[in-house]
Chain A
């Protein structure tokens, strides 16, 4: 019978929820601006988030004199590959203005973006007009950033899951959560709060059936998408379900390395097929590659492989090395499967879908403006948790920008706003309720039902009927939330994650229903509206309506060309 342990009350100028790449860069900036900073992370900032085990590329324009390597060319690329999702005015602020300083900051932390001879190794994929992806060894980047925020005197609460945002007269006052290792309860007041908790995973069926065998971090479960939505915060770009192409059996990153190094996607007949789908062939945008892989497989020409047999010995050596930087265990997995380093046809498959950005150049989540602010005063967002940032380059650059903006807001607000005692008491009871139940529903079982519904109804192809039926089934699951049971604090965390995944799934379905066109297929592909329409070049913005409703509105985005 656990009702939680001690209560801790903590105050900060700027509080950051989520200590991944974006969150830690936010913290660095806010501290540099003189704010007292608190980072709250569900895991431990040393190794939390998407790059916990490493990362091997950083996307950038570098003004080398090449026509594709300018700020203007880069923005044109973003406007092309993220059309209808990326707001270029925000992109200029969160990426372009910050990029040189972001790269310098990484290197100052002791992580070189260069090769041993001091040169940059840059590769081209993902629809880029030139080689924007700098290959580097980022295996120690996350620990280096964790060290940096400690050096800047930021306070950190590790293993604390945030469950509720607290408002005072419509403005952000703070939030609360619990420590999953000892059950202590935290009530936090901050002048400004930044959400940087990534996207939502474990929402659709995975290739092996294990929901933790995922491309993106399985600890990212939309906890703050749900909490923010419940607090009246607007979300955008959440109708997209992102997928990639991964090794069969192991949903690991590697796409950018395989195709950036010149790997060819071939079908079961041994025939390369990407040029049939896009003029850039294997350097096409990710969604086009996924669409092509799905189409080939559906047409009976599967399985699909990446052919790397034509690569030189030195390129193959680099490929296997960089695969292991992006996913530490991937090279040994490929060896265990019997693939030889000398080059092979490696079987691939389309990964699980997830709630995440439709392009490397935008985000999916809390809608932000040019100051990274949400519609709730005092609440900001950064990284994958926002609708305009994602991927390492934007999380480093834009995370820092968000920190400056939050610190500026905190400085202007001269006092902390009060938290409501009754609201906190009620939340504490809600949080620990699964630990009071005997023989209730296991969170894994609940989550599994959610995954079957999402995959059947919008994972990824969808239409009005499938979405409405899926929403009805998700709504029917609501009553089971009150039956979830946990025998320990770790399982309690999984209970809350399951509820959050379920809540975000419904928002994904409702926003998918609103967008009556297709865009970034298959990330948003409506079989009843299979074409893209200029009328839908912009954001579907979602906001809570009543107890269980999702209201949507549309916001047009403009592009020069």
Chain B
């Protein structure tokens, strides 16, 4: 898991897909999608750039469990 994008809130501005330093976010059908969730760095850049509060983060069982 990784950054999670709320499709209902996303307005398709593309900033997260444009700026993601790991190239994991792409636009699909006009909304941003985390296409490579295992490659997320949890840097939070996408959330900081999002004007619609559409990005949250989900930590993996390994991150929380070990």
Contact = CB atoms under 8 A, between A and B. Distances in A.
Contacts of B22: 43, 212, 218-219
Given A48-B21, A180-B23, A493-B23, A252 B42 contact: yes
A54 interface: yes
A551 B38 CA distance: 37
Given A249-B62, A249-B63, A329-B57, A47 B19 contact: yes
B43 A52 contact: yes
Contacts, number: 97
B7 to A, nearest CB: 21
A162 to B, nearest CB: 15
Given A210-B60, A212-B39, A329-B57, A49 B66 contact: no
Given A218-B39, A327-B43, A490-B23, A209 B62 contact: yes
A46 interface: yes
Interface residues of A, number: 35
Q: How large is the interface on B (under 10, 10 to 19, 20 to 34, 35 or more residues)?
A: 20 to 34
Contacts of A493: 23
B39 A43 contact: no
A249 B65 contact: yes
Contact of A249 (B20, B49, B66): B66
A110 B2 CA distance: 31
Interface string B37-66: 011111111011100000001011011111
A328 B64 contact: no
B44 A54 contact: yes
A53 B66 contact: no
Contacts of B41: 52-53, 212, 214, 217-219
B21 A337 contact: no
Contacts of B45: 47, 52-53, 328
A374 B57 CA distance: 42
B40 A47 contact: no
Contact of B21 (A207, A208, A217, A248): A217
Contacts of B18: 44, 46
Nearest to A44: B19
Nearest to B23: A490
A159 interface: yes
A129 B45 CA distance: 34
Interface string A225-263: 000000000000000000000001110100000000000
Contacts of A52: 21, 41, 43, 45
9 contacts: A43-B21, A49-B21, A52-B21, A52-B43, A212-B39, A214-B41, A217-B43, A219-B22, A219-B41
Interface of A: 43-44, 46-49, 52-54, 139, 159, 180, 207-210, 212-214, 217-219, 248-250, 252, 327-329, 332-333, 336-337, 490, 493
Interface of B: 18-23, 35-36, 38-45, 47-49, 57, 59-60, 62-66
